[in-house]
Amino acid sequence: MYRTYNPGWIEVICGCMFAGKTEELIKRMRVLEYAKKRVVAIKPTIDNRYSEEMIASHAGSFVKCVCVETHDLASIEKYVNDKNVDAVVIEEVQFFDEGIIEICEKLAGSKKRVICAGLDTDFRGEPFKVMASLLAKAEFITKLSAVCCVCGAPATKTQRLINVKPAKYDDPIILVGASECYEARCRRCHQVEK
């Protein structure tokens, strides 16, 4: 039987919204399944957009996962601390508490393949702290781009619109009673009101 030496590592899939991060994550999980590898997928409970207990892409693909509260890092360790688990997949990793960084390092150190996906920056273009650290510590990085809604150029930024106007830098993350949406935009078309 073939045995490949597996030192463990961290790979990160990042980018703005609508760049296909979840599709890429699901694709990597499927390839691992073809190889009969044991994969545990985790996502924060904050993300209920399409379905619970599933990682679902905008394009309609989905895979099973376990949902964990963003601060409940002990549960993650419980799910993945099994020497038979080959790979750990974490979706929307930017939402987890900062302790997730150490967990990823520990998992990689125990010969697991760790695949994290998430937004690298918020709607203001500022880095998510968890993602910035993971990108610095990862062995492999894939930064995906979308298509700018305004001019069609490659988009790397998430535009937040509130009642059709660009959101202000200091707007709270949750605005009750406002109609809110997000678009992918390029550097030139991305707008944040000061």
Size of the site for Zn ion (CB under 5 A): 6
- Angle ∠(95,137,123) on CA atoms, nearest 5: 35
Residue 189 binds to Zn ion (criterion: CB under 5 A): yes
Catalytic pick from 23, 92, 180, 183?
92
How many C-beta neighbours within 10 Å does residue 56 have? 19
Q: What is the amino acid identity at position 91?
A: E
CB 149 to Zn ion: min, Å: 8
Interface stretch with Zn ion, choices 25-33, 71-79, 86-94, 151-159 (CB under 5 A): 151-159
Rounded Cα–Cα distance for residues 180 and 64 (Å): 29
Q: Which of 16, 19, 42, 186 binds Zn ion (CB under 5 A)?
A: 186
How far are the Cα atoms of 55, 100, 109 from residue 74, in angstroms, in the given order? 21, 10, 18
CB 104 to Zn ion: min, Å: 33
How many C-beta neighbours within 10 Å does residue 10 have? 24
Interface stretch with Zn ion, choices 5-13, 22-30, 110-118, 150-158 (CB under 5 A): 150-158
Q: Which of 151, 175, 178, 181 binds Zn ion (CB under 5 A)?
A: 151
* Token output for 54: 């599933």
CB 67 to Zn ion: min, Å: 35
Nearest partner of 186 among 31, 10, 18, judged by Cα: 18
- Catalytic residue list contains 24: no
If the CB atoms of residues 32 and 153 are measured against Zn ion, the closer one turns out to be 153
In sequence order, which ranges of 39-147 are alpha helices (DSSP H)? 73-80, 99-109, 129-137
Residue 70 contacts residue 45 (beta carbons within 8 Å): yes
CB 152 to Zn ion: min, Å: 7
Q: Which of 153, 162, 171, 191 binds Zn ion (CB under 5 A)?
A: 153
Binding positions for Zn ion, rule: CB under 5 A:
148, 150-151, 153, 186, 189
The residues carrying an active-site annotation are 92
